[in-house]
Chain A
């Protein structure tokens, strides 16, 4: 299954710390050599300050090796640096916990001023440089793997500095990463939205920079979107949102996906498939278009499944792809949670499309297409019919499903339309009548005026 693994591609756009969960997951799935993954982890840690973790892994790699000297040394350095930094910010942290300050900070969330900072400066003698030190400290703590402290500190930092601070973006990114790593999805969800706003608001960015920011954003958002209950909806909205509204302007994030990271199509496709169908008839069409456009840049069973189903109408192919999909989903960090949901919805998609095209279908064939037994398929269809999501009957003697005819005769359409029309016209007429009445006084006045005027004219003549 290694061919469909996206970790290498995704990893490029993640923070180091965010890659750990992915690697952890890969170790579990056993598709790659364990040694290699460990080595990768070790290399990854080389640039962080999580020495203990690194030592652990080192021991796993070289089981009977000594602890390397430089790591021990590194640890000592880190500890000393840590104390140094924490001392620098201690006054600030002490000050903030006081009730007064907390109130001020809370207050400032609503107004964009330097009030809180001024207050702190006055009462506790907190310098601006100390706030900057707070940022450095938070960053360091994050590097050490203490995400919860990092998140708190970054939150505090954000509250204290104005929104155009030069570290603001990093702060937002850091906060998001910390929340993700602590798996606090609700907070992460909020952070994500704030981050998105911040990216879009700042217009002074160069297009290239903007592209980078967006690419990172859509990658990081995967963590949140596939873990937060509202996430998948938002994911679809993010990429195909503006496409469904009538505006002609192209979606910036969809653009980013197409330019920089077509491999994310997998997640988009999965999200669209899983999402309730009724709502996003058009998103599906849009998605299929994008998949076709990018088919040379990225294809995997999931996109191919949609392509088979909606471009070639090759149901056998679709079913084949669906089988492949299971394997892909089970080995994907983000998608593993929704495999069953995906399969169910995909099956429904096939069935629905099939029904729209066909007049009558044998159950055996349907069962084969849907990748289930005949009995099971029949039960499934019966359920669908019962839930009124399908207008069909089963002829169990012949073993076929007969669809109800859905076509409207022109006669009917004409009637439908005109009936509607009649009502609307009447409403219109009534309304204008009403309008005329309300304006009657005014118009009467006007006509009187006009008459008065005309009566004057002859006199002048």
Chain B
């Protein structure tokens, strides 16, 4: 996953940081990459990723060598071509080189950087092209083709070199071309980095060629920077602030190249930050790729440390701590602040506060900031937290909740303004902040983490273990809020409104919703199913108290889902009907729509388990038609042919995906759907053999049947679909035992039925239904052959009690599906043989058609006359 994530990030972040031109190159590069397999560049569904990873592991040695060789080969060629000034060849080789490099990229990432020869050849080519370009006379001698090549090459190299990391490397190389030649990539760290980088930003518009003349300057400015750094981090910040416009700053902020930085900082302030450095080194490995904003430079960090340390004689009071705290907070979000350092500072501050016994107020205040900082530790849009940061954040939150529950007098609310805070006095601490928001944020982050983990790896399981912790945290928050609400704790808000309750109903709703969202999809195995009651209580509270429609809608959907999950079919159905979601769902937000789809599916599954086949079919038919179940349930991104999606769209879709543990098994859905369709469709087909206006009930089922019929030979069924198709075939002839055997066997049990909590009952229900429908099919199909048939024979054939057979046949007779009647004294069914023969059926059809013709005529006449009531209708 690591490599994947890297590409993901590079794609998205570079598009932010680069100018338009560069973006084009990016796209080109991406396209080249695509030629060899999109897999490497685009994020994929979890399923395939694992394979991919295996692949890499297996070939990693040879691949690396291979790539290097390839590149070297090309470099040789280029050198040769340059010597003979063959522009065409250079151009071609350049293309190859870039391709090869792209291929090699992943391998290279592991080696921490770009190989020196590659940099070198790029620089050489750049020079070469520039000299060629400036040599006008020679240029005019070129053929048109070659001259085109030259200009194209020049463009391309320029663009290519402007890419973030490359640019630095090239400049680094240009500064010290001779030394670097033999050096290993990692060792090429240059202290001048910062400056050069900045430099390039400034001269984005300038031609690259003159850059060669610049290294000297760069070196100068850089060293001066450094000296500032050592003396005063903040001033260095400000200096940078001044000399570039905002946007540029942002870029710089994002750009990074850690290894070098690490080295340079280490050498600079070895002693003072030793502790931090040690820690950093330990984490450096894991964070290398992600923590790009982590360490702008070493200078400020040290100063931050200083910032919070108190002079020996200084008295540590609330004010002092607060002052320091505000300084730290002020740094938050600023460019160049190091979040890790901030956390360190906060930790220090807390320990000071604790030592001086300054009370919980200040403790909580700092804790709140600690949590906030750890959450924006990796602040880039779709990035998730690293496990370490995550666990740390969890710890902080747990600590916060413990403090809040322990010290009842503490009031925390977003209604308290910062000015009205009271961190000192014992009786009632008043703190600005909102625990619920924090918990929501935590929840969100957790989802992100799960989304980013590979669902089939151990990693996911590890991450998922935190679900328990998250749930317990939410529970504790709920309890805390409830106790506050029950005690009717009031706070005097600073506005004119006077006092408001500390915990309002809306807050409780939000917290409850959070609990519900974590609970509704879980099947409660404990006896008595307490979770149903819990959900019921929470949802009812939300229905009554909530003022936002969204939460109410979601709550009712979750409620239905949970009912359905636990086989409370009637309750689920009635609630679903009563909440009228169908009317509004089309206009609600996507997340709710997804939840709606999930609920409908769950309701369908529940109906099936309950034995309500028709309802199950109806609920699932929308999901299965169009083959988009995966997308509709947000359980994966469907690749639709002939439909390009922009990166943005794809990102959005990806963010919507549900974590794996919430998924509903797609095969189960399809199987339940197909079986339901079979139970409805097969008897229907049998009874309407000659019907002219026969319409398929389930298109999807018919497609499956047709597909199976195309096969030249029927082998024993393998997949779930094949099983259902085979079963349907058996049912067509009324062979119920074969049908049952096809549907209920080892394979199908493993694939489908065992996924249901009450598998045995479901199987029993299914067998009953199959018998019943087979009997119906049998009667429809073979009624013409019999004159009379004894009911007990039928009962034997289908292993059903006579009474049930009697009931089924009676129903068929009443509904006029079967032209027959019962002879009570000897318990037989007498067929009336009014079932039309072929000719009769056709003539009946003809009559139908003629009737239609007549009706059309009538309509036409009326229409022509424009007076619908001109004629009194005949026979009416």
Q: How far is the CA of A331 from the CA of B456 in the complex (A)?
A: 65
Given the complex, which residues of B lie within 8 Å of A359, measured CB to CB? Answer: 821-824, 830
Contact with B along A401-412 (1 / 0, CB 8 A): 001010111110
Chain B contact-residue range equals 35 or more
B429 at the interface (CB under 8 A from A): no
Given the complex, which residues of B lie within 8 Å of A424, measured CB to CB? Answer: 854, 874-875
A390 to chain B, nearest CB (A): 15
Q: With A357-B814, A359-B822, A424-B854 given, is the CB distance from A297 to B570 under 8 Å? A: yes
Q: Choose one: A296, A365, A410, A418; the contact of B850 (CB below 8 Å).
A: A418
Helix, strand, loop or mixed for chain B's interface?
helix
Q: How far is the CA of A425 from the CA of B856 in the complex (A)?
A: 11
Q: How far is the CA of A408 from the CA of B835 in the complex (A)?
A: 10
Contact with A along B741-755 (1 / 0, CB 8 A): 000000000000000
Given the complex, which residues of A lie within 8 Å of B825, measured CB to CB? Answer: 360-362, 400
A428 at the interface (CB under 8 A from B): yes
Residue of A nearest to B837 (CB): A410
Q: Choose one: B803, B824, B834, B843; the contact of A414 (CB below 8 Å).
A: B843
A69 at the interface (CB under 8 A from B): no
Residue of A nearest to B823 (CB): A359
Q: How far is the CA of A410 from the CA of B811 in the complex (A)?
A: 22
B469 at the interface (CB under 8 A from A): no
Q: Choose one: A297, A403, A413, A417; the contact of B821 (CB below 8 Å).
A: A403
B819 at the interface (CB under 8 A from A): yes
A383 at the interface (CB under 8 A from B): no
Do the beta carbons of A431 and B861 come within 8 Å of each other? yes
Given the complex, which residues of B lie within 8 Å of A278, measured CB to CB? Answer: none
Q: Number of A interface residues, CB 8 Å? A: 38
B857 to chain A, nearest CB (A): 6
Contact with A along B530-563 (1 / 0, CB 8 A): 0000000000000000000000000000000000
Q: How far is the CA of A414 from the CA of B839 in the complex (A)?
A: 12
Q: Which of A265-312 contact B (CB under 8 A)?
A: 296-297, 310, 312
A451 at the interface (CB under 8 A from B): no
Q: Which of B836-850 contact A (CB under 8 A)?
A: 836, 840-841, 843-844, 847, 850
Q: Which of A333-379 contact B (CB under 8 A)?
A: 353, 356-362, 365
Q: With A297-B570, A314-B807, A431-B861 given, is the CB distance from A362 to B824 under 8 Å? A: yes
A111 at the interface (CB under 8 A from B): no
Among B810, B811, B870, the most chain A Cβ lie within 10 Å of the Cβ of: B810
A183 at the interface (CB under 8 A from B): no
Do the beta carbons of B822 and A410 come within 8 Å of each other? no
Given the complex, which residues of B lie within 8 Å of A414, measured CB to CB? Answer: 840, 843-844, 847
Q: With A413-B844, A414-B843, A424-B854 given, is the CB distance from A313 to B807 under 8 Å? A: yes
Given the complex, which residues of B lie within 8 Å of A428, measured CB to CB? Answer: 854, 857-858, 861, 874
B754 to chain A, nearest CB (A): 28
Q: Choose one: A357, A400, A410, A425; the contact of B810 (CB below 8 Å).
A: A357
Residue of A nearest to B841 (CB): A410
Q: How far is the CA of A408 from the CA of B840 in the complex (A)?
A: 13
Q: How far is the CA of A303 from the CA of B148 in the complex (A)?
A: 90
B865 at the interface (CB under 8 A from A): yes
Q: With A359-B822, A411-B840 given, is the CB distance from A313 to B870 under 8 Å? A: no
B813 at the interface (CB under 8 A from A): yes
A259 to chain B, nearest CB (A): 7
Contact with A along B802-826 (1 / 0, CB 8 A): 0100110111011000010111110
B282 at the interface (CB under 8 A from A): no
A420 at the interface (CB under 8 A from B): yes
B578 at the interface (CB under 8 A from A): yes
Q: How far is the CA of A408 from the CA of B832 in the complex (A)?
A: 10
Given the complex, which residues of A lie within 8 Å of B870, measured CB to CB? Answer: 435
Q: With A353-B814, A409-B834, A428-B861 given, is the CB distance from A358 to B844 under 8 Å? A: no
Do the beta carbons of B813 and A356 come within 8 Å of each other? yes
Do the beta carbons of A431 and B822 come within 8 Å of each other? no
B6 at the interface (CB under 8 A from A): no
Q: With A407-B834, A423-B874 given, is the CB distance from A435 to B865 under 8 Å? A: yes
A327 at the interface (CB under 8 A from B): no
B786 at the interface (CB under 8 A from A): no
Residue of A nearest to B870 (CB): A435
A421 at the interface (CB under 8 A from B): yes
Q: Choose one: A353, A400, A410, A427; the contact of B840 (CB below 8 Å).
A: A410
Contact with A along B591-619 (1 / 0, CB 8 A): 00000000000000000000000000000
A432 at the interface (CB under 8 A from B): yes
Among B814, B847, B850, the most chain A Cβ lie within 10 Å of the Cβ of: B847
Do the beta carbons of A418 and B822 come within 8 Å of each other? no
Q: How far is the CA of A53 from the CA of B649 in the complex (A)?
A: 77
Residue of B nearest to A369 (CB): B824
B851 at the interface (CB under 8 A from A): yes
A209 to chain B, nearest CB (A): 16
Given the complex, which residues of A lie within 8 Å of B803, measured CB to CB? Answer: 314
A179 to chain B, nearest CB (A): 34
Given the complex, which residues of A lie within 8 Å of B840, measured CB to CB? Answer: 410-411, 414
A61 to chain B, nearest CB (A): 40
Residue of B nearest to A417 (CB): B847
B714 at the interface (CB under 8 A from A): no
A-B residue pairs in contact (CB < 8 Å), sample of 16: A314-B803, A357-B813, A357-B814, A357-B821, A359-B823, A359-B824, A403-B821, A405-B832, A408-B834, A410-B844, A418-B847, A423-B875, A425-B854, A428-B874, A435-B865, A435-B870
9 smallest CB-CB distances across A and B, nearest first, come from A313-B810, A427-B874, A359-B821, A410-B840, A410-B836, A313-B807, A296-B570, A361-B824, A358-B822
Q: Residues of A at under 8 Å CB distance from B?
A: 259, 296-297, 310, 312-314, 353, 356-362, 365, 400, 403, 405, 407-411, 413-414, 417-418, 420-421, 423-425, 427-428, 431-432, 435
Known A312-B807, A313-B814, A403-B821; 16 more pairs at CB < 8 Å: A313-B806, A313-B811, A314-B803, A357-B809, A357-B814, A358-B824, A361-B824, A400-B824, A400-B825, A407-B834, A421-B854, A424-B874, A427-B874, A428-B858, A428-B861, A431-B871
